[in-house]
Amino acid sequence: MDNRNGVRVVSGREEDSCPGTDRNGLSRRQALGALASAAAAAGIAGAPAAAAPKRPVAPAGPAAKKAFIDDLIARMTVDEKVGQLRLISIGPEMPHAKLVEEVAAGRIAGSFNTVVRRDNRPLQEAAVKRSRLKIPLFFAYDVVHGHRTTFPIPLGLAASFDMTVIERMARVSAIEACNDSVDMTFAPMVDISHDPRWGRTSEGFGEDPYLVSECARASVRGFQGAAPDKPDTIMAAVKHFALYGAVEGGRDYNTVDMSPLRMHQVYLPPYKAAIDAGAGGVMVALNSVNGIPATSNVWLLQDLLRKQWGFKGVTVSDHGAITELTRHGVARDNREAAKLAIKAGIDLSMADQVYLAELPGLIASGEIKMAEIDARVREVLGAKYDMGLFADPFLRMGKQEDDPADVRAEDRLHREPARAIARETIVLLENRNQTLPLKKQGTIALVGPLAESGLDILGSWSAQGVPEQAVTVRAGIEKAIEGKARLVTARGANVLDDKKVVDYLNFLNWDKPEVVQDPRPIETMIEEAVAVAREADVVIAVVGELRGMSHESSSRVSIDMPGSQRRLLQALKETGKPLVVVLMNGRPLAVGWEKDNADALLETWYTGTEGGNAIADVLFGDHNPSAKLPISFPRSVGQIPTYYNALRIGRPYTPGKPGNYTSQYFEEEQGPLYPFGFGLSFSRFSLKDLKLSATRLKRGQTLIAEATLTNEGSYDGANVVQLYIADPYASIARPVKELKGFQKLTLKPGESRVVRFEIGEEQLKFINADLRQVVENGRFDVQLGLDSHDVLVESFELV
């Protein structure tokens, strides 16, 4: 299973598998040595046992919470305080038995990557029965797009343009995670990305601040429910604060250098949205922000997050990020790193030993004041309080006799929502001559290296998703056509042929090599696929990226279809058979050839446990696709960044007027291959008659924009009407347009419906040069469309 910490997960149990150094270059043995000597120096073992903290049954308001935590802090030793700032992953140097002892010694606040009750129970028992103060532990995990059931990757979820879909995904994921005793998730991941070279583009919700903010809110609602203190809710720690998606060149972990205007206008709103929705935690990014690493960035973590935004929850460093302050070159050594992180406001140190090793000395020397430590400890205890753990440390773990005998049991999955949700995320990009939906008859050829992969269809960060429980595209199609049509298959190509790249992907993060190459020469594989295609009435080719290609530490230098698969597609095209290309990938790909040559083109992202069924539902018309791209697709890597809401410039490219000193690349067509918000349906939809209720709008009032959506085709179907607003003249250069609303409507063939959007100052405000939120009088253009490019336009004046 996905595991970047050297932990092997077998049948739901985590076992040590790989020795050596962790990702900070710190040998885990050294780290434990430091840990042992610090413990000895602290003399924790000899401290007298204290009474168990009083455990209010339910949170009784902020005053009761404060009194409870004050009382606890007053009774804590320095070492116990330091212990409450440490979030530890089980791993080779921290095997389970050792972790239990560390917990009993009061040296750990919470653990991550232990995700089954029978592993977590002894840990919680050590905390609440054996540790001096009996402070409960919490258990965290990356529940990003599912837990036991894997849902589509976040980029796909965003394509649904349906917040009920996202909330449902998060709700079901939370229920499953709770059943495994997880209290907190490191999600949602709301890093806006304009650079598809960045592998973590797959994990976010796309390029647009409005859409990503909506997704952030829906995720928090789903994970936390009404509050994160219920047995079926988990605390959401939004990440990666901040601006991680803007790493230079799309190279993971790289620098971010950005104007304050862009930050506030584009990249920061989604984090703020999650916090406003009540997210209890914030994970701090690995990158620097304008020269100062996020982990030691006082402006970011105090001025912005705490003072300006009023965040009251817990902050968590990313994996090993405190130690990395020395590599950023802002800390001379670990001691200084720990000091900077505390002073900036990092509450929990994830997976490094520096707080443990360095904080006691820094406190003793007076370089860090006790009040500063207490402030950090207060947030951690506050999060535990909010998660309901002081009221009941076993809130989510339940009783031992109820532990599932088989953690991977089929009945622990939620297949129905997984299929329903996955169908909503599939984007129809091309459909020449109504190639889709296919008829369940004749002979269908299924080719391509991803057609039978239960692993790749899960996408990265698939938590406890099990490849063997995933429905592959082949399995989905077989079931759909059973008894009606014949299926012939061939692999046709490997995803990649470059051995170095394959070796890298096999080395990356996973507990065992993931990429299994077909050893046959590509010519032989293509010949076989062509022979199979010749037998068939239609060819379905499932191509794209291995899941590891769209992951942490998986930045690509090219976003093209890998060469082996392009060759396969070209050979299939030459057979003259109708060609349906099913894309499986976690970032925009430069699929110009596929756009021009496929008879039908489907973007399926990584659709998760029920992916194969959902894809078959679309291929055979049991579901009419309605998803839209949440991110622009560039024509080539050279066009990056390509995003729809770019700022106005003095010499914009003007279609039909090539050259002439305008902003463009001269070797390639301008504009995206597919724009933001684009996606077809089996039905034809028209949007007409945009009307505004007024041409002048007074401040404080609203006007209505309305247009008529008609289903002119012959299928029931849904479409997403998108509202964009442009502010053509303002005190600063404004985006050419900005998404300000969307509505998904389902219509019967021939049905028309009027769609209405209310527009007021909320939709017109922006951050000005003084970083103040303002609304300026003047003309605004209202655009309604079924994508960001083709829109109806009407204007009004704000007076």
Task: Assess contact for 548 and 509: CB atoms under 8 A.
Answer: yes
How would you write 12-32 as a 3-class SS string?
Answer: CEEEECCCCECCCCCEHHHHH
Toward ligand BGC, which CB reaches closer, 24 or 645? 24
Out of 208, 318, 347, 386, pick the active-site residue.
Answer: 318
Is residue 142 part of the contact set for ligand BGC (CB under 6 A)? yes
The residue at minimum Cβ distance from ligand BGC is: 186
User: For residue 235, which of 384, 31, 45 has the smallest C-alpha distance?
Assistant: 384
Toward ligand BGC, which CB reaches closer, 142 or 347? 142
Toward ligand BGC, which CB reaches closer, 44 or 238? 238
Cα–Cα distance measured from residue 397 to residue 117, given in angstroms and rounded to the nearest whole number: 6
799 residue type, one letter: V
Is residue 318 part of the contact set for ligand BGC (CB under 6 A)? yes
Residue ranges in 564-593 that form contacts with ligand BGC under rule CB under 6 A:
none
- DSSP 3-state percent helix, strand, coil across the chain (nearest 5): 35, 20, 45
Is residue 239 part of the contact set for ligand BGC (CB under 6 A)? yes
Tell me how far the alpha carbon of residue 526 is from its chain's centroid.
Answer: 35
Is residue 139 part of the contact set for ligand BGC (CB under 6 A)? no
For the bound state, the minimum distance from the C-beta of residue 202 to ligand BGC, rounded and expressed in Å, comes to 12
Instruction: Quote the crossing angle between the two packed helices 370-386 and 61-74, to the nearest 10°.
Output: 130
Is residue 22 part of the contact set for ligand BGC (CB under 6 A)? no
Cα–Cα distance measured from residue 98 to residue 521, given in angstroms and rounded to the nearest whole number: 49
For the bound state, the minimum distance from the C-beta of residue 23 to ligand BGC, rounded and expressed in Å, comes to 8
Toward ligand BGC, which CB reaches closer, 189 or 275? 189
Cα–Cα distance measured from residue 736 to residue 282, given in angstroms and rounded to the nearest whole number: 32
Task: Assess contact for 629 and 603: CB atoms under 8 A.
Answer: yes
Residue ranges in 446-505 that form contacts with ligand BGC under rule CB under 6 A:
none
For the bound state, the minimum distance from the C-beta of residue 142 to ligand BGC, rounded and expressed in Å, comes to 5
Cα–Cα distance measured from residue 566 to residue 70, given in angstroms and rounded to the nearest whole number: 64
Toward ligand BGC, which CB reaches closer, 23 or 753? 23
Toward ligand BGC, which CB reaches closer, 123 or 583? 123
Q: For residue 209, what are the contacts with CB-CB under 8 A and spacing of at least 6?
A: 192, 265, 266, 267, 269, 270, 738
For the bound state, the minimum distance from the C-beta of residue 89 to ligand BGC, rounded and expressed in Å, comes to 7
Please pick, from the candidates 319, 335, 384, 744, the single residue that binds ligand BGC as defined by CB under 6 A: 319
- Tell me the site size for ligand BGC, rule CB under 6 A: 7
Cα–Cα distance measured from residue 94 to residue 26, given in angstroms and rounded to the nearest whole number: 13
Beta pairing partners, 746? 718
281 membership: H or E segment, kind and range: strand 281-284
Tell me whether residue 253 is exposed, middle or buried, using C-beta atoms within 10 angstroms of its C-beta: 0 to 12, 13 to 18, 19 or more: middle
Cα–Cα distance measured from residue 32 to residue 223, given in angstroms and rounded to the nearest whole number: 34
Is residue 186 part of the contact set for ligand BGC (CB under 6 A)? yes
**318 in active site:** yes
For the bound state, the minimum distance from the C-beta of residue 186 to ligand BGC, rounded and expressed in Å, comes to 4
Is residue 552 part of the contact set for ligand BGC (CB under 6 A)? yes
Toward ligand BGC, which CB reaches closer, 239 or 339? 239
Q: Is 489 helix (H, G, I), strand (E, B) or coil?
A: strand
Toward ligand BGC, which CB reaches closer, 316 or 447? 316
Is residue 424 part of the contact set for ligand BGC (CB under 6 A)? no
Residue with tokens 């990702």: 23
For the bound state, the minimum distance from the C-beta of residue 91 to ligand BGC, rounded and expressed in Å, comes to 12
Q: What is the DSSP letter of 657?
A: B
Q: Which residues bind ligand BGC (CB under 6 A)?
A: 4, 142, 186, 239, 318-319, 552
Which residues are known catalytic residues? 318
